[in-house]
Chain A
């Protein structure tokens, strides 16, 4: 066997084994999620949130929303946050050195004035310029912090330092929350009497094309634009299948930065959000879990599949590429920081399943796919491709991807069934057929670029300009 033959075989063997592993894992995730989803849906048939909604003894929450140059929407977003159903909460808006007039607008509309406030700094952050509260008792739950720009992680750490309550809920200020979002997000913290619930993650859904009135989603529509619709399907797959399966395995490593609740004490003990990564949301969860595992204390990371938080998904290729590039860098940075966990049995499911999964199938998969594609071009050039076999393999992979998406759509129909308009499900199915050809390559490309940027030590978050929701005022 010549060297080149060996190399060729190694390449082919490697890709073959990898492909079998990844497809098997997807099948496993799809099937394994069913049990958890069914359990949650059954529980929801008799869940009573009234106790939490009305009780003055409900646990206290601090909702942290970092804002950077959000002047266009910040007043409405804050109003929407102040109107959520819950009793014991405060809303902390952290103005992360915005260059626009966000702070001025908030001061004017909410009648804010600067207050002297003793701020402990268990988490080191950039300097706080001022803390503002409203003179109007209607807005007594609102706290606005003005600070020097330091990025999202730094802003959230400031919020955690200032928070007065037991649990902190970290959200993106431009997200739209369902009115009962906090009730549902808080309940898991109270239910487990045998293990400490250190975090609860919620579902994020795509809000493009939805009807928004006074900061509330009043009608859910399937996005009309191509990219948001693709992402809708992607989010359904990730949140309804992936995370439910990981929750069941107790191996959840990621709570979306757009919407998650955390035990403040544990967050402070682990040192808060890390400034050195653009994937600060995943990194924090991994660090918190690692801390609890090392302490050997029973704990849980909870997850609820109800659609509670709606966000605007990127609708241009440029913004999407930036977002995915950042996600990739965040993933790799987190994996690198916590490489000690890799196949480390001390960390149980996290070390033996979750971390390897993220390493092989989230970090390596796009790279292998890309290398496979280059290899394919190279072999095609040399005429060594068995074309009938290639097309059969391509068809196999394509139909598998479509079947997996179709399964996710079915789960959506059987559970929350958000897309009720005539033909929505057929359109989603069509999306499932187009996605592997039209959308997936973009994601792979962005991931590869993310890795290259990481090697180049690029740290930028990337501008994430949004179009904004088409909002209406209530009549």
Chain B
């Protein structure tokens, strides 16, 4: 047998020995067995838990269904008392109470009007807010966040102070849920934290806030203030509100933002102007056009197509036909065609033999057909 001392030293003795390998293999075998047993044990336990949960859900769904169709708080009380006659001890245990809270919150999410209010009444009568507040005190962030969500869904305005305290929490999820909850409970007034918030407000939060707001609550003064803040995400959110609720009174503030340093804000300002534009908007757009990004220019041309038509605008659109950018030329011609067919007919006649316009003109012809 050849002698390879180094290999022998490394593999045979010094670094790993034969016995060590066997022991480790044995250890891994034990790990495999242990993991398998744990997985099976977990499945068994979880299966039983799920079974119990399913049983409880069957019971609770009757209570919830009856509550939903009640016509007054007294009827809710009666339905609850009937339920307690046969299940009096059930709601003394924490697990069934947790299941019931989830079921009520879930059902409430799909309902509104008196049915939803009945569920809030049931939540109050069973003092389920106390359970939720215990979760709110939890050190686990996900428990805290879900407790906030539940309190908001069940309209627990009496705990607003506790929720408000969390709107500046260091954990993103708790903070977000708390801010959404405050808006859910107090509407537009709840957005007052935007005046002072330093952290960016995510798109997700913005969408959540919007879904909770109602047009009647809107205050243009506050939106105007947000437009002037240094937090770009708040400015963007304010512009979104202007777009959605068509706040015509803020037209000048919005046009001023066309020169903002943030591209996202400039784009959102254009979107807002699409909704609240007036006779002076085109002037702002034309002024702004040379400095705008390509994307903004394309949106501007789409806007001019809808709102323009003056001689000045038609001349401006005609100058754009010299652009190197085919998309700009196409949209300029498209706008012209819509605003003034006579003008565009003259321009198109001039361009017909120009090779840069062959594709564009054929496309416009097809579109016209």
- Residue positions of A touching B, CB distance < 8 A: 1, 5, 8-9, 12-13, 16, 42-43, 45-46, 48, 50-52, 54-55, 57-59, 116-118, 120, 187, 189-194, 382-384, 386, 388-389, 392-393, 395-396, 398-400, 402-403, 406-407, 409-410, 413-414, 417, 425-426, 429, 432-433
Q: Is the interface of B mostly helix, strand, loop or mixed?
A: helix
Tell whether, in the assembled complex, residue A190 and residue B202 are in contact, meaning their CB atoms are under 8 Å apart: yes
Partner of A425, one of B40, B145, B177, B200: B40
Residues of B within 8 A of A117 (CB): 363
Residues of A within 8 A of B204 (CB): 187, 190-191
Nearest CB on B from A241, distance (A): 13
5 A-B pairs within 8 Å (CB atoms) are namely A46-B145, A55-B211, A57-B240, A189-B203, A193-B233
**Nearest A residue to B202, CB-CB:** A193
Cα–Cα, bound, A386→B363 (Å)? 77
Nearest CB on B from A375, distance (A): 12
Partner of A193, one of B35, B201, B326: B201
- Does B341 have its Cβ within 8 Å of any Cβ on chain A? no
**Nearest B residue to A54, CB-CB:** B211
Cα–Cα, bound, A448→B256 (Å)? 62
Nearest CB on B from A344, distance (A): 30
- Does B284 have its Cβ within 8 Å of any Cβ on chain A? no
Tell whether, in the assembled complex, residue A193 and residue B6 are in contact, meaning their CB atoms are under 8 Å apart: no
Chain B positions 32 through 45: 1 when the CB is less than 8 Å from some CB of chain A, otherwise 0: 10011011101100
**Nearest B residue to A414, CB-CB:** B42
Residues of A within 8 A of B207 (CB): 51-52, 55, 57-58, 190
Residues of A within 8 A of B326 (CB): 120
Residues of B within 8 A of A120 (CB): 326-327
- Residue positions of B touching A, CB distance < 8 A: 1-7, 10-12, 15, 18, 21-22, 24-26, 28-29, 31-32, 35-36, 38-40, 42-43, 46, 109, 140-142, 145-146, 149, 173, 177, 199-205, 207-208, 210-211, 233, 240, 244, 326-327, 330, 360, 363, 366-367
Partner of B25, one of A384, A399, A414: A399
**Nearest B residue to A15, CB-CB:** B11
Nearest CB on B from A265, distance (A): 8
Residues of B within 8 A of A413 (CB): 39, 42-43
Cα–Cα, bound, A393→B29 (Å)? 14
| Known contacts A51-B207, A194-B200, A402-B28; A386 and B12 CB within 8 A of each other | yes
Tell whether, in the assembled complex, residue B203 and residue A50 are in contact, meaning their CB atoms are under 8 Å apart: no
Nearest CB on A from B264, distance (A): 10
| Known contacts A51-B208, A116-B366, A384-B4; A389 and B18 CB within 8 A of each other | yes
Residues of B within 8 A of A57 (CB): 207, 210, 240, 244
Tell whether, in the assembled complex, residue A409 and residue B146 are in contact, meaning their CB atoms are under 8 Å apart: no
Cα–Cα, bound, A58→B210 (Å)? 11
Tell whether, in the assembled complex, residue B28 and residue A396 are in contact, meaning their CB atoms are under 8 Å apart: yes
Tell whether, in the assembled complex, residue A395 and residue B21 are in contact, meaning their CB atoms are under 8 Å apart: yes
Residues of B within 8 A of A392 (CB): 18, 21-22, 25
Tell whether, in the assembled complex, residue B200 and residue A193 are in contact, meaning their CB atoms are under 8 Å apart: yes
Tell whether, in the assembled complex, residue A43 and residue B6 are in contact, meaning their CB atoms are under 8 Å apart: no
Nearest CB on A from B261, distance (A): 15
Nearest CB on A from B166, distance (A): 14
Cα–Cα, bound, A118→B325 (Å)? 13
Nearest CB on A from B41, distance (A): 10
Residues of B within 8 A of A12 (CB): 4, 6-7, 10-11
Residues of B within 8 A of A50 (CB): 109
Residues of B within 8 A of A187 (CB): 204
Nearest CB on B from A408, distance (A): 10
Tell whether, in the assembled complex, residue A395 and residue B25 are in contact, meaning their CB atoms are under 8 Å apart: yes
Nearest CB on B from A394, distance (A): 9
| Known contacts A13-B6, A392-B18, A403-B32; A45 and B25 CB within 8 A of each other | no
Residues of A within 8 A of B200 (CB): 193-194
| Known contacts A9-B4, A16-B11, A392-B21; A116 and B202 CB within 8 A of each other | no
Residues of B within 8 A of A414 (CB): 42
Cα–Cα, bound, A383→B3 (Å)? 11
Residues of B within 8 A of A426 (CB): 36, 40
Cα–Cα, bound, A432→B240 (Å)? 53
**Nearest B residue to A400, CB-CB:** B28
